[in-house]
Structure 1
Amino acid sequence: MRLQKIVMKNFKPYREQIEITLNRDCTQANKHIFVIYGDNGFGKTSLLDAIYWGLFGQKARKTQLLFNDKEAKRKKTEMFVELTFYDEVLDRTYVIFRKATKTATSIHETLEVIVNGEAIVGDPLLKQEYIEQYIMPYEISRFFFFDAEDVKTLAREQGGDTVKDSVELLLGLKAIRESIEDMDNVRQDLEKQRKKYLKEEGKLQEIGRKLNEVSEKLELYKKRYENVKAELKSKKEKLSQLRKDLAEFGYEEIKKLAEKRDALELKLKSLTEKKRGDHERN
């Protein structure tokens, strides 16, 4: 799943409609990592806010604080954010269109979710649940969209349950494990039925067929479970290395600053002694 395009209007500093298209040549091999950089005050954080608000609305960002300052002074105005995602595995395109209309007394928010050109029908709550189930769970969003300053926070965390639960949720590990347990329960029930109807050949054949299907699915889920477990282990190792690299980077930066400070103090001391000597000679 990767973010392809962002379109927005009257959102914080972006007053006129603006469209940002991310590199379509990005492949799964290079992990879909995009870095947006620029000087302070040029809208980097606002772009991040637009993504969060587009995905999660009021749950992530307070809508009333997101209108462009000049537009917010008008009696009636509207802002919107449109996000386009593409899922390479399922070959599916998702378009999320969230709009807020502001009047003198109220703010009304609407949400549309379009999958491969077909709109999801239902109330906003249903559509929001669809986004968090199939596009981006809110609990793990901070591992995909974050300010550079948040890297230090992630690196300082020991991971533990927070990172583990989030990665498991992303990979579907919990769902696979629960599916295996459910399939085992179904198989046990079918075994009981098979014994009960052992003398009834017709029923026995049907139960046997179902048992084979369940067994095949169970084996498939077990293989998927092992594969995801291995992938989780690899990601945890990479996360550990990232923390280590960030810690070393921080140490080197502090060391350089300390050396620079010592050099300046030494220079200041030398200048002070020279000035004192000149004063005594005079």
Structure 2
Amino acid sequence: MILKRLVLNNFRQFKGRTVIDFSPIDGKHVTFVYASNGVGKTTLLSSIVWCLYGGDKLEYIDQKSLFLNKSLFQELSDFGEMTIEATLIFEDREKQYTVKRTIVIQNVDNKQKITDQNLEVQINNETQYNPQDRINSVLSPAMKEYFFFEGEGVQKFADESNYKKVQDGIKNIMKIDTREKALSYIESARSKFAKELKEINAEQGNADILPEEEKELLIEKQKDIKHNIEKLNKDIETFDDIIKKIEINLLSIEEIKILSKERESLLQDIEKAKEKRKNLQAQQKDKIAKEAYLALSNDVLTISKNIIDEKRETGILPVGIRKKFVEELINSHMCICGTTFDSGDKHHNKLLNIIESVSDESAIEDILNELSYFIEAKKDITSKYSLEYKTLSDELTNTNEKLNSLEQKFSTLEDNIEDEFPQNEENLISRKKQTINDRDNSIKTKERFSIELEEIEKKLKEIETLINKYETQNEAINLVRDRIAFCSEAVEVLSKENAKIIEQIRCDLSKKINDKFQTILHAQKNAKIDDDFRLIITEGDNENISGKSGGEGQLISLLFISTLIDMARNREKERNTSDIDPGAGIYPIVIDAPYGKFDTVYKQYISEVVRDMAPQVIILLTQEQWNDGKDLYPIFKDDIAHQYVLIAHRPKLSHSFSKTNRINYNGQSIDMEILDDDEYTEIKNMKDI
């Protein structure tokens, strides 16, 4: 199964018709899709799965009931309708499949309501009349979680409580489930023959229950108990998952409390910044009102002073001893030369003569002197005003930038708190206690069924001994007994053979996983699948089970899927084309954000596994995880067939102007956000940019 193309029409973030090609080119089998969080990266994964399997809810994403693009939905009138489409084209065993799934959304009370769904499947351009069955025959719903997954979600295979998923993956991918179906058909035939034996016995008037009949009743009861135990195992696994999610939510409450404190701190900083901006603006206005006219008049004052000086030199304006100055000397009995005098002496008379000779224009001289002094004092007013005004302007600009940054951080924080706010803490604690109680009750019920199952198996052995001793002359009964015996023997042989095959695959798979694990990590640890089908890591000569870090858990899970796909691919090569063998022969991998928060070393480990884990690999990741290809490009460079970037159109950018959302490609910086009246996402092939 190789994915060739995905076509979306008005699907969630993608407005209008959106096309993305996945076909391998010249042996290159890796496709990269880069996107910011919340733009539509996970929607692509969800759309592929929904196109194949349908449903009223989308997987992997929040707001699972929202199918229609938001901006288009807002344009719908009450009870207005619009059609959403997802088309997936893929190849399997030299046949081309075109899967087109549509859904009609109606606006009911401003909520998206599904009014119609349709599925159309064509194989080599021929329409199929059992479309979902044809899809399931290639890749059944039970197998999707092994090929379509979120990066961190793949770690579930490393969770030791999920051993059943490991076992089921081996059965489904290696086609053991087909043998188990055959086993089920034989068991059904045995039940049919046992019923026939009972009817013959009743016709002959035999009142006593036959051993075969009792055996069949016990076998049916045995099957019911095994089914109940299997169901209880799934219930216990579900309870464990719920408990883990509740514990994560309880941790989220603490994180939200921290975020709330951070929000309050940001609010205080925003108010302080606003107050500072207000004060700076007031200072700026005050300076303009009081000093701007002086700065603007500086040239006029300078010219005026020069004119006064020039007029004085030419004698047009008066210049001399000021009358007031002489009067002050007389009153203080001090001569111009510094000698003290008495009234009537020669120094006194000299000063009196000077007063008589001083022009009346000395008053004008006083005014001119004062004007000159004023102009001289204000000669640097322009440069001083410009410097002070620029200082205020710069501080105001910095304050505005800080305020913009604070408000952006506050907006992002507010969105995170709204998106991630968990349930009430008391409700979560109460629900956790109830779930633990339900799980414990399921465990007790399972133990009771297990004891009952042992008793039935013991009773079956006793009845089998009785049947061997039982003899009858009735030819019809003997014939049916032979058929029942044949079915019982076939079931026993086929069950042992299936168990043997599964065990052989487990051993081979475990060895291959460990070989790859050792090659990548070079650590004194071993990775294996134990007898209970748990993915474990051991260390030391005694192979003591070691705890798994997040990176080791994700690595061993990816190695499990990678190795299993590789074994299935080899099996497909050996397959005779005339064999009846349902299911795909090879499988693609679509993985969203495989790197999480791992460091560079683990990113490279995981990249080496992801690159080689399937004949087709589609990787969806953020530009931060891509990191301009510094860590990943050297590993993938020879295998990249396609590279796409998701560009978000938004009325308001989510990043400040100083931190624009960009990705670099071939030395070119590409904006991943664009201002637009509408809100939607477009896909661009990076080769076309």
TM > 0.5? yes
Matched positions, count: 211
Q: Secondary structure at the match of 2:55?
A: helix
Tell me by how many angstroms 1:72 deviates: 2.0
CA distance in 2, matches of 1:249, 1:172: 30
- CA contact 2:5–2:22 (8 Å) conserved in 1: yes
Where does residue 68 of structure 1 map in the other structure? 69
1:154 aligns with 2:157: yes
Shift in CA distance, 233/37, structure 1 to aligned 2, threshold 3 Å: farther
1:46-61 matches, cutoff 5 A: 46-58=43-55, 61=58
Measure the CA separation in 2 of the matches of 1:161 and 1:224: 16
The aligned residue for residue 80 of structure 1 is: 85
The aligned runs of 1:98-117 (5 Å cut-off) are 98-104=101-107, 107-117=115-125
Equivalences for residues 134-149 of structure 1 within 5 A: 134-149=137-152
Cross-structure match for 1:193: none
Q: Is residue 130 from structure 1 mapped to residue 131 from structure 2 by the alignment?
A: no
Partner Cα separation in structure 2 for residue 119 and residue 17 of structure 1: 23
- Structure 1 position 45, deviation (Å): 0.8
Q: 1:250 to 1:141 in 2, by over 3 A?
A: same
Deviations 1:36-77 (A, max 9, x none): 443212311111110111011116528841111112231221
Q: CA RMSD in A?
A: 4.1
User: Is the 1:98–1:110 Cα contact (8 Å) retained in structure 2?
Assistant: yes
Q: Provide the C-alpha distance between the structure 2 equivalents of 1:159 and 1:247, rounded to a whole number of angstroms.
A: 17
Residue 52 of structure 1 contacts residue 60 of structure 1 at CA under 8 Å; is this kept in 2?
no
Among 142, 162, 166, the residue aligned to 1:163: 166
Amino acid at match of 2:39: F
Alignment pair present for 1:249 and 2:551: yes
SS class of match (2:35): coil
Give yes or no for contact 2:157–2:163 (8 Å, CA) kept in 1: no
Q: Mark the CA change 1:72 to 1:11 in structure 2 (over 3 Å): closer, same or farther.
A: same
Which of the pair has more CA radius of gyration? 2
Instruction: Output aligned runs, 1:227-246, within 5 Å.
Output: 233-237=507-511, 238=513, 240=527
Q: Percent identity?
A: 21
Task: Write the deviation string for residues 225-262 of structure 1: whole angstroms up to 9, x where unpaired.
Answer: 988875554445539568759737369969x9xxxxxx
Q: CA deviation at 1:168?
A: 0.9
Q: Do the aligned residues in 1 keep the contact of 2:101 with 2:117 (CA within 8 Å)?
A: yes
Alignment-mate amino acid for residue 22 of structure 2: L
- Alignment correspondent of 2:13: 13
Unpaired stretches in structure 2, ≥5 consecutive residues: 190-496, 515-526, 529-534, 539-547, 554-596, 602-689
The answer to whether the 8 Å contact 2:85/2:101 transfers is yes
Indicate if the aligned counterparts of 2:157 and 2:165 stay in contact, CA closer than 8 A: no
Q: Is the 8 A contact 1:7 1:18 kept in 2?
A: yes
Q: Answer whether contact 1:173 1:229 (CA < 8 A) is retained.
A: no
CA distance, structure 1, for counterparts of residue 8 and residue 143 of structure 2 = 24
| Paired letter, 2:131 | K
Query: Residues 35, 235 of structure 1: CA spacing in aligned structure 2 closer, same or farther, 3 A cutoff?
Result: farther
SS in 2 for 1:112: strand
Check whether the contact 2:24–2:30 (CA below 8 A) recurs between aligned residues.
Answer: no
SS in 2 for 1:146: strand
Q: How does 1:181-192 map to 2 (within 5 A)?
A: none
| Alpha-carbon offset, residue 160 of structure 1 | 1.7
Q: Which residue of 2 aligns with 1:44?
A: 41
| Higher mean displacement: 108-117 or 234-243 | 234-243
**Counterpart residue identity of residue 47, structure 1:** L
The Cα shift of 1:167 comes to 2.8
In structure 2, C-alpha distance between the alignment counterparts of 1:53 and 1:247, rounded to whole Å: 32
Which residue identity lines up with residue 159 of structure 2 in the other structure? R
* 1:196-235 pair list within 5 angstroms: 233-235=507-509
Structure 1, unmatched stretches of 5+, are 187-222, 257-282
Deviation at 1:20, TM superposition (A): 0.9
Change (3 A) 1:64 1:180: closer
Is 1:177–1:225's contact at 8 Å kept on the other side of the alignment? no
TM-score calculated relative to the size of structure 1: 0.60
CA displacement at 1:136 relative to structure 2: 1.8
Does the Cα contact within 8 Å between 1:173 and 1:225 map onto a contact in 2?
no
Q: Which structure's relative contact order is higher, taking Cα pairs within 8 Å and 6+ residues apart? A: 2
| Partner Cα separation in structure 1 for residue 32 and residue 506 of structure 2 | 24
| Aligned match of 2:126 | 118
**1:174 and 2:177 correspond:** yes
**Residues 185-237 of structure 1 deviation map (CA, whole Å, 9 limit, x = unaligned):** x9xxxxxxxxxxxxxxxxxxxxxxxxxxxxxxxxxxxx999888755544455
SS in 1 for 2:68: coil
Distance in 1 separating the partners of 2:104 and 2:163? 42
For 1:24 and 1:145, locate their aligned partners in 2 and report how far apart those are by CA, in whole Å: 18
The whole-number CA distance in structure 1 between the counterparts of 2:552 and 2:499 is 37
Maintained 8 Å contact 2:2/2:23: no
One-letter code of the match for 1:22? F
- Residue 6 of structure 2 contacts residue 86 of structure 2 at CA under 8 Å; is this kept in 1? yes
Q: Give, in whole Å, the separation in 2 of the partners of 1:71 and 1:45.
A: 20
Q: CA deviation at 1:16?
A: 2.1
Mapped contact 1:176–1:225 kept (Cα < 8 A):
no
* Distance in 2 of aligned mates of 1:100 and 1:4: 22
